[in-house]
Structure 1
Amino acid sequence: MEQSFLRYRLFIILAFTLVLYTGSLLLAYLVRFDFAIPQEYLIRFLQLLPAVLAIKLVVSWFLGVFTGWWRYVSMPDVVQIAKATLLSTLLILAYAVVVHRLHLIPRTVIFLDGVFGFVFVAGVRLITRTIRESFQALHQQVKPEHIRRIFVVGAGEAGHAIARELRLNPHLGMQLVGFIDDDPIKKNTTIQGIPVLGPCRKLNGLIEKHKVDEIIIAIPSATGKQLRTIINFCNESKCLFKVLPGVGELIDGRVTVQQIRQIDLNDLLGRDPIDFDTENVKSYLQGKRVLVTGAGGSIGSEICRQVMRFNPAKLILFENGETPLFMIEQELAKSYQNIPIVPVIGDVRNRSRVNVIFDQQQPQVVFHAAAYKHVPLMEANPAEAVNNNVQGTVLLADASDYYGVEKFVMVSTDKAVRPTNVMGTTKRIAEMYVQSLNNRSKTRFVTTRFGNVLGSNGSVIPTFQLQIEAGGPVTVTHPEVTRFFMTIPEATQLVLQAGSMGQGGEVYLFDMGEPVKITTLAEEMIRLSGLIPYEDIDIVYVGLRPGEKLYEELLLADEGVLPTPHKKICIAQSVTPPHEQLVEQIAQLVNDAKILDFQGVGRGLKQLVPEYTPTQNKKLMSTTNQHP
């Protein structure tokens, strides 16, 4: 039965539409003549009818009025019907003037015919949809005891979409009780029959009054600060809450209930979507042989994923760890079967290995993300930090220069600014060497400097998660410690963007937004786990670790800043010693590291980076204490 209907669906719709159009013209005559049509006008109606039907059918067909499903009719469909009606009315009027000179065809009839035709055609579709939705709601009805009462925060477009989704999917067992919105104009209005009850500050009382079980935050454009404010109100009410993803995730513009998810730290930190200049990045990556060091790490692996989007001629994965290399190679090979991927196990500190790789693979673009990054570990192992972060960068940069690499992009850190630890100091030396080599090389050497990335291997967030799962306590180094954060995809996109802009010698700084208190981060993570800070999970302060400082910086005092066309990227005007001097001092530093002369390493670091001031963290350490 259903297949037969689908086969003859178009003919049925055309026939039914002819009946509607005939009825609209007849009703127009009846209304015009008070339901008593004179004989001569009745004859004129019969003469006019074929032309009217032909014009309306042709116009409706041309504008696609017959292609939509009535059960899914929406505002764009109604607008299309209105366009078809207006055009048909104008053509019928022109026909009446030219052919009949409006003789015995009142213009009122033509106008009324257009109005009735639109009402009939649009009305039938809307009635069909209403009946279907009512039947579906009745068929999918959930038992009252299983229904969750819902508030939607945000009465904008996303809120409208959520309301419609909940109405169309009663099997979800969610009843929308009301909207919460801070816009005073929307207060005491209704949206799809649902009232806007008031602002967020009254959320607690409204939840209690309306016995709400769950809150959906439907403001995709909300900043992290705005979202934190809303969540604070939700926390006060002790009500469950979820969020619709931000605009950066809603790429296709569609909003569905399935996209509603738990709040995560990316939402709270509120990183705005990157203005990614795809064409400029594509211009230096497409068709190029690209090498990524540290390809299995958090940043390195994401660089690999992003680079593959731009169809390079070949991607060389340079990684010291066997398992991380295997994982990223398998992932990329599955997704990009037509792009050659060369997995290479090797150490950036091995000159012979580096030179062989460059000689065999002939990379044109190099992203250098391999480094030791854990501050306390490098304080305990300064020689290894020098060998990897300094000597490894020197060998890679020299090989890039010798083998004619077009562009070398180095990933650095905010800890290289006024460093108080070995890790940051070694990265600053690497920055200086890359810059100085740029002055004498055809290769364009570019440095990117940014802060912490959310969820990177061994970072604070995975550590907090494990501590929360274990029942606490969550350990924070100091009550006032702050850090800059960005997401891994955001950091990687900015690295690629900076690489596309770099002409050589620049140190690019990324806009990291506002610094975040680690204590605040810990509190929010506990709340996101459904627990209460200091009640369910304690936060304990353990003192700054070796090499750590309270606040990170992105800029030295003597570094000026130049803007770039990208609003989230600027250039630090960094001063670099002469290349020959750097080569000599780095050689001595590396030699001291190889023979494990730790005093010599300390002197070398201070000589190369005079602003390096090792912290005496025993003075900064406080006795382990707990939040009062």
Structure 2
Amino acid sequence: MVKLDIEQWKIMAWMLAVYDAVALNAGYFLALLLRFDFQYSRIPADYLANWESYTPVYTVLSLLIFYGLRLYHSLWRFASFSELLRIIYGNLATILLMAVGMNFFVGNMPISYYIMGAAIQFGLVLGVRFAYRFILLLRVAQQDRRGEGSRVMLIGAGSAGQLIMRDIKRSVRTNEKVCCFIDDDPTKWNRLVDGVPIVGGRDEILASVEKYQIDKIYLTVPSASAAEKRDLLNICKETDCELKQLPGLYQLVNGQLSVSAMKKVSVEDLLGREPVKADLSDVFQFIHGKRVLVTGGGGSIGSELARQIAAHQPEQLILVDIYENNVYNVQLELRDRYPELDLVVLIASVRDSRRMFQIFEEYRPQIVYHAAAHKHVPLMEDSPCEAVKNNAIGTFKTAYAAMVHGCERFVLISTDKAVNPTNIMGATKRLCEMIIQSFDAKIKAGKANEIPQLFTHEGLENADADGTGKIFENVKTEFVAVRFGNVLGSNGSVIPIFQKQIAAGHNLTVTHPDIIRYFMTIPEAVSLVMLAGTYAKGGEIFVLDMGSPVKIADLAKNLIRLSGLKLGVDIDIDYTGLRPGEKLFEEKLMAEEGLKKTENDLIHIGCPIPFDTEEFLEELDELMVSAYKNKNDIRVRVKAMVSTYHPAENIS
């Protein structure tokens, strides 16, 4: 038995051609029968002879015409006006072929033969091709009568909304019915789109959901701004409907609009922030061909930095992290995506000055992004000396190694918790900012040699080993800090915690009903960090305008709704009280810092708060000793150095 390896559509095309061959001849034969009242015996013999003799020629030539018009290449379940036109052209051509060929080369036939034959042939050829669509329409109509399937509201009656509606109507896989449109354009109200009413603007959303018994709401306004989407979604989330939206305008441009292109609404969408749009060409030009080191390379920010840097041809990318698992995963990802990348992954602690000197001596990075830090507020409240060791002293040791090994730029990743800190984590991050400001001040004053070298194993990596001081003569490292708020999707973000609690069927835990935070996405944070590396002149603290803060309780409520659950019925929120060191809100700047503009309207520079650099550096040495001795008075020492630090609990 021979197996025919033919694609299914070709088989269907052959079957359709056989049908057409029958239909072409049946049409004109039926015309003869009609002409003589369906009495075969009354048909004159010469008419039958003419029909029989011309049939083979007419069939072959007609099929060639149909093939030339590509009537065997269309997907007839999606047949539209263009397919109808091609059928009309094909039938007109074959009608002309019948009239001319029969009269000039075969013999005369009755006038009614041509008229009725053409009509019957057209009906048979057209009918079989649009029958599938007709059956689908009947099925949809049946479902409408029975009330089956999900009932959908589309927000946006423009091109995108209409395309989504038509995709729903012709799809056999989605058991959905579009019941109404919402559009803010008053000129569209009370009009119909393919029989579906445009009921009004956003004020009609809640009433229409109840009136039409809506199950799903699709936001089909790809050109809407983030703030506009937020406002619409904030209304929609008051319903129990499933919410979806189009990812962006590019689907409309590329003709990719379909129900499958819709994505679920995320909590990030409800924040309504426009992403920071920055021209990163200068950043990537600065990175291209450079040796770049990222500390904390396995963390949320560090790993995204690594991805962005790897995509723009650095000479070498060095990732440093103390935790092997995360950075190993990043290593596998980057090697797979960028096989030509010169990637070095090292396990090291920024607290180990000998190890940091070894790394900087061997690899000589030109740019450093310092993301390594302890960031969890409650954990650091229980282990304050570790926060000092890792954040403050680790930053100092890394910065010192960078300075004496010819690094051009050192960018510190800071946090809004460094502003008027009430917890030790925030206070140590403020210490980090003061450290890089001290380095910058000393370097600009030509006194880099006066910066003390902190270590607990003195002498083994003394920068000025020969005692000549030459190593400090041409120091030009520029030190800057970047400060931003909470990062959505990061390891310490509240949203993954909420998602785990929902998955486990537990109530969500929020510390206080009024606690608020600023939020940004990881790509935005990384863009800001990288921009700081190009804007830097030394000593700046870059600050992102993160818009309005968001209530954590509102985030929890939104996430419950987006998970298809009802607050107070399926799940609840437990308020546990503020944790040690936690405050209700975070500031982006200390009041006395002020702001300067940069080339990007959403990125600002905080003017450094003056402090006694000499005194600070002396106290930092003493702070390191206390931290490594795990002294109980560590908070008192930190408070003496950071005047804006106000611990939320009693200091021992």
Same-fold call, TM cutoff 0.5:
yes
> Could you say which residue in structure 1 is the equivalent of 2:413?
411
In structure 1, C-alpha distance between the alignment counterparts of 2:80 and 2:642, rounded to whole Å: 66
**% identical equivalent positions:** 43
Deviations 1:10-66 (A, max 9, x none): xxxxxxxxxxxxxxxxxxxxxxxxxxxxxxxxxxxxxxxxxxxxxxxxxxxxxxxx9
- Say which SS state the counterpart of residue 173 (structure 2) adopts: helix
Q: 1:604 to 1:227 in 2, by over 3 A?
A: same
2: distance between equivalents of 1:464 and 1:157? Answer: 37
8 Å CA contact 2:183–2:189 kept in 1: the answer is yes
Identify the range of structure 1 (227-236 vs 355-364) with the bigger mean alpha-carbon deviation: 227-236
One-letter amino acid of the structure 2 residue matched with residue 274 of structure 1? V
1:87-98 matched pairs, under 5 angstroms: none
Counterpart residue number, 2:179: 177
Q: Is the 8 A contact 2:79 2:133 kept in 1?
A: no
Which amino acid in structure 2 is aligned with residue 605 of structure 1? V
Q: Name the SS for the 2:346 alignment partner.
A: strand
Q: Shift in Å at residue 541 of structure 1?
A: 1.4
1:608 aligns with 2:637: no
Looking at structure 1, the residues matched to 253 and 400 of structure 2 have their Cα atoms a distance apart, in angstroms, of 41
CA change 1:248–1:412 in 2 (3 A) is farther
For residue 138 of structure 1, report the CA deviation from its aligned partner. Answer: 4.1
Per-residue CA deviation, residues 547-594 of structure 1 (Å, 9 max, x unaligned), is 111110011111010011112100000124354333211111111101
Q: 1:483 & 1:185 partners in 2: Cα distance?
A: 40
Q: Which of 286, 289, 303 matches 2:288?
A: 286
Aligned-pair distance for 1:259?
2.2
Residue 226 of structure 1 and its aligned partner are, at CA, apart by 4.2
Aligned to 1:527: 561
Question: Rg larger in 1 or in 2?
Answer: 2
1:484 offset after TM fit, Å? Answer: 0.6
Structure 2 partner of 1:569: 603
Displacement of 1:595 in angstroms is 0.8
Match of 2:212 in 1: 210
How is 1:161-172 mapped onto 2 (pairs within 5 angstroms)?
161-172=163-174
TM-score (norm 2): 0.72
Matched residues in 2 for 1:223 and 1:501: separation? 28
What is the identity, as a one-letter code, of the residue corresponding to 2:626?
D
Distance in 1 between the 2:306 and 2:402 partners? 19
Letter in 2 for 1:476: V
Partner of 1:588: 622
Q: Is the 8 A contact 1:137 1:169 kept in 2?
A: no
Q: Provide Cα deviations, 1:176-197, integer angstroms capped at 9, x if missing partner.
A: 2321112222212334554312
Q: Structure 1 residue 497: deviation in Å?
A: 2.0
1:558 pairs with 2:592: yes
Q: Give the 3 Å change call, closer, same or farther, for CA 193–464 of structure 1 in structure 2.
A: same
CA contact (8 A) 1:244 1:260 kept: yes
Change (3 A) 1:209 1:5: closer
- DSSP 3-state at the match of 2:264: coil
CA–CA distance in structure 2, aligned partners of residues 321 and 250 of structure 1: 44
**Aligned twin of 1:188:** 190
8 Å CA contact 1:545–1:617 kept in 2: the answer is no
After superposition, what is the alpha-carbon deviation per residue over 1:244-269, rounded to whole angstroms, capped at 9, x for unaligned? Answer: 22569999784332221221111111
Does structure 1 residue 469 correspond to structure 2 residue 503? Answer: yes
| Aligned-pair Cα RMSD in Å | 3.2
2:358 aligned partner = 356
Show structure 1 runs of 5+ residues with no match.
Answer: 7-65, 78-127, 619-628
Distance 1:550 1:133 in 2: 64
CA distance in 1, matches of 2:589, 2:128: 64
- Quick check: 1:547–1:614 contact (8 Å CA) kept in 2? yes
In the alignment, which residue of structure 2 is the partner of 1:313?
315
Which letter maps to 2:156? Answer: G
**Superposed CA offset, 1:428-459 (max 9, x none):** 11111112212304111121000101121132
Structure 2 distance, partners of 1:450, 1:249, is 32
Q: Deviations over 1:197-231 (max 9, x none)?
A: 21232223323433433211123344555445434
The 3 A distance-change label for structure 1 pair 171 and 376 is closer
SS of structure 1 residue aligned to 2:500:
helix
TM normalised by structure 1 equals 0.74
Aligned length, in residue pairs: 507
Amino acid of the residue matched to residue 636 of structure 2?
A: R
Contact 1:547 1:617 in 2 (8 A): no
Q: Which residue of 2 aligns with 1:378?
A: 380
Contact 1:291 1:318 in 2 (8 A): yes
Provide the rounded CA distance (Å) in 2 between the counterparts of 1:394 and 1:270. 38
How much does 1:390 deviate?
0.5
Could you tell me how far 1:412 is from its partner in structure 2?
Answer: 0.2
The 3 A distance-change label for structure 1 pair 519 and 250 is farther
d(CA) in 1 for partners of 2:479, 2:625:
25
1:240-255 equivalence runs, <5 A: 240-246=242-248, 254-255=256-257
> What are the residue-to-residue correspondences of 1:85-234 with 2, within 5 Å?
135=132, 138=135, 144=143, 147-191=149-193, 194-222=196-224, 226-234=228-236
- 1:23-38 paired onto structure 2 within 5 Å: none
Query: SS where residue 245 of structure 1 aligns?
Result: coil
- Note closer, same or farther for the CA distance 1:452–1:334 as it changes in structure 2 (3 Å cut): same
Q: CA deviation at 1:492?
A: 1.2
Structure 2 residue 583 is the aligned partner of structure 1 residue 549: yes
